[in-house]
Homo-oligomer: A and B are copies of this chain.
């Protein structure tokens, strides 16, 4: 369902939330508190934006009951305003809808394509491919042999699936993403490298989202596996045979080296790097740009790196970092000497 105008009463009913104010108020769009105009609906989730609530020009605001006294407009009272807002966004979607059917410019092997699927211009589909009902594949995608694309999945333009990549249902893949490229595997020879041909595939669960220009390598022998509800941002690199557990969310520019196993419902912030052959427990949080070189066996939040300083000050800190072990030894020597002095004095 996409709407261009809807009454607040309708919205409250669909969201299953309580309405405070004018049920006939017509909502024509969504906007942040600060920039919302008449006719628009906004939301307050993070209390640090409470200031903006009292000055908003929104016609209605989704908020928690305790914020109601500060609200100058109509309100929708939700236990989870952010989730209610998330649900709303789908109804106001403005993205063009794809028409079912295979564009005449598509080059297609022996694929089995459901009637309701939409395949955009200049796509190339391999042999033995199965594309389920409701799938949208936008222009310029290349789908290798033996791929399976589950119902209602959506591939934006210029996605590449190598052969033997299997997607679950409701998977979203953004432009430029590459799934099934070779893992980085070579054996050293006398004067170079012998390629290890990558014989595994890629298995993506249901409701997985994969960001623009993210890459997921195929397995060396077994598959690379991404479980249901995993959310991957842009420019992520997933090495061969990585296994990511259900519901884990990973922000942009993260790199995960081969054969690492990440648990369920982890949160990995942008730019983090995770070494190969590690195991990360469930519910682990990794903060931005952290470097993970050992397995993590306990849920919790983990970090590395140094905070930002003015460059001139930072150069001093960085120079001292190189002396840290020596500084620690000097502290130890001082402690010994001071104890000795103290004993002599008290003797």
Contact = CB atoms under 8 A, between A and B. Distances in A.
Interface residues of A, number: 140
B174 A182 contact: yes
Interface in A303-347: 303-325, 327-328, 330-331, 334-335, 337-338, 341-342, 344-345
A331 to B, nearest CB: 5
Interface stretch (A16-24, A67-75, A282-290): A282-290
Given A290-B308, A322-B307, A194 B341 contact: no
A224 interface: no
A56 to B, nearest CB: 13
A93 B195 CA distance: 12
A120 B25 CA distance: 49
Interface of A: 29-32, 35, 80, 82-83, 85-87, 89-90, 92-96, 103, 105, 107, 120-122, 124, 126-127, 138-140, 142, 144-145, 156-158, 160, 162-164, 172, 174-176, 178, 181-182, 184-189, 191-199, 207, 209, 211-213, 215, 217, 220-222, 228-229, 231, 233-235, 237, 239, 246-247, 249, 251-253, 255, 257, 270-271, 273, 275, 285, 287-294, 296, 300-325, 327-328, 330-331, 334-335, 337-338, 341-342, 344-345
